[in-house]
Structure 1
């Protein structure tokens, strides 16, 4: 082989190597990750921190999340689709509870890995029930032990972790604080290991599968939960009747459904003050979401038995999907 031919062969090999590297860098990975646990362990707060923006509503009241919501995180050639689920619980008497449980359970079907969220130093019957469902799915499980920042005696944490670790062959056990954002990056790093080669399921700009109309209803429901707290029954929901762009402002009409007249008075408050505060804070959040001015009108209506009527629930957007 002449010198020029040798040089050409080396150049061809170099170009081939560079092209192979380029192909590898362009290979896309994409997969679903379920976030599951009993009610009120911090699943929605965790997803919001992972995505670095608010997608799921939060409150101190259990079962704040009622729908399965996707949070989409795209970085370089990887897209992770986090599935925030309603809290799994044993009580299934009402139709709404049954649908919420089905929505959470069905999320385990197509995911690559499960993030099982529990509270530090607490293990209840509902946690055991959630773990049994996860085991049946045969998916790899990362155990996320939340609220470690609230433990006063840190020496008690290790025996607790050892006790829980004996219950299942967890892929990872990570102590976290979803509220403070502690140990969020290790979760994101470990999740990447489970992503298969796939084209992206969503646009790189998407952050959720839910519409702005849906998010507006969730914002109102969050304010109801936060301002009424323990006074508020679970049998309250929000339906957006109008979501309309009118030249320079969004015009949104939201209907708050309750089951009894006494609940209606509770939501409205003396001289309408409670409803006014709820509306003000909801409007401000909607303006941040939509990045435009919002004119919001809230109405409260009594609809007896809606939480027990599966047909009514489906018409209001509740489903097991």
Structure 2
């Protein structure tokens, strides 16, 4: 029987912010495992990703949300924004992330999602390694407190693991006393199939950069696994025929590299040898097709 730890706390923490502000990088750094994909392009996170961190005195269950945005409209983006709003309900704490370079209009839009009387919202000022803290951060903290009554403001660098321990201690104050909700070795609620698809999508974003249109998704078609290894067959879905050539590359070079990089990460995740085969298929307008979105897991 597990010994009950006095004053142990556990609870849910929503992490919100505009696209490309560093939410996924922050959660990955806090959890110590890769639970959400990252890239320089905004809108890489499309689904609520749950990451779990268990320490000696607390269990933090982080919900990474898609970056809330209002510039473009589609069925997919509508569902992503709805996901952000629903993440704010039934959580014990909210961490809003902005960059150390200051507030933007997109940050203000995210701020509007928060109830004015919320007492559990912490502001994390990320990417402090990119500025001189003494000159920039203090004025930014003062400006931020005028915009919203944040429970606390913590300057951090997710990339450099700076002050993440401080952020955790601040969050812990808002978690209710209670037992662990997950076993110690659990770090995400997502299945290996989901994480594999996300890894493939991340490699596509990272490798193709600005060439890659946002109309791309990954579907795992077949998954065979035993103690020795895994055989995975996946489809990378694009919106247009012209996009297919971009993803495949000259003589298949781009697709081979996406597959190679993804295979390495999936193998590390599963702890076994992986055979990965990725195909590219065109499904026009999939981002506005409710049936296709549902089949891809976007509820």
**Same fold per TM (> 0.5)?**
yes
Matched, 1:173 2:150: no
Contact 2:196–2:266 (CA under 8 A) maintained in structure 1: yes
Contact 1:30–1:80 (CA under 8 A) maintained in structure 2: yes
Matched, 1:53 2:72: no
What CA distance in whole angstroms lies between the structure 2 residues aligned with 1:231 and 1:92? 19
Match of 2:206 in 1: 226
The structure 2 residue matched to 1:36, chosen from 8, 16, 19, is: 16
What CA distance in whole angstroms lies between the structure 2 residues aligned with 1:147 and 1:77? 28
The count of corresponding residues between Structure 1 and Structure 2 is 298
Structure 1: gaps of 5 or more residues: 1-21
The structure 2 residue matched to 1:217, chosen from 197, 213, 235, is: 197
The one-character-per-residue Cα deviations of 1:9-33 (angstroms, maximum 9, x if unpaired) are xxxxxxxxxxxxx997356432100
Q: Quick check: which has more Rg, 1 or 2?
A: 1
The structure 1 residue matched to 2:67, chosen from 66, 70, 87, is: 87
The one-character-per-residue Cα deviations of 1:86-117 (angstroms, maximum 9, x if unpaired) are 11111351011011111111100011111110
Match of 1:69 in 2: 49
Match of 2:285 in 1: 305
Instruction: Say if 1:258 and 1:137 are closer, same or farther in 2 by CA, change over 3 A.
Output: farther
Match of 1:273 in 2: 253
Contact 1:47–1:82 (CA under 8 A) maintained in structure 2: yes
Instruction: Give every structure 1 segment of 4 or more consecutive aligned residues whose post-TM-superposition deviation is greater than 4 Å.
Output: none
Instruction: Say if 1:23 and 1:132 are closer, same or farther in 2 by CA, change over 3 A.
Output: same
The one-character-per-residue Cα deviations of 1:192-212 (angstroms, maximum 9, x if unpaired) are 111112333222221100000
What CA distance in whole angstroms lies between the structure 2 residues aligned with 1:134 and 1:117? 13
Matched, 1:202 2:182: yes
Query: Aligned ranges for residues 146-161 of structure 1 at < 5 Å?
Result: 146-151=126-131, 154-161=134-141
What CA distance in whole angstroms lies between the structure 2 residues aligned with 1:137 and 1:211? 36
Structure showing the higher helix proportion among its residues:
1
Contact 2:218–2:234 (CA under 8 A) maintained in structure 1: yes
Q: What TM-score, normalized by structure 1, do the two folds share?
A: 0.88
1:61 Cα deviation (Å)? Answer: 0.4
Structure 2: gaps of 5 or more residues: none
Match of 2:168 in 1: 188
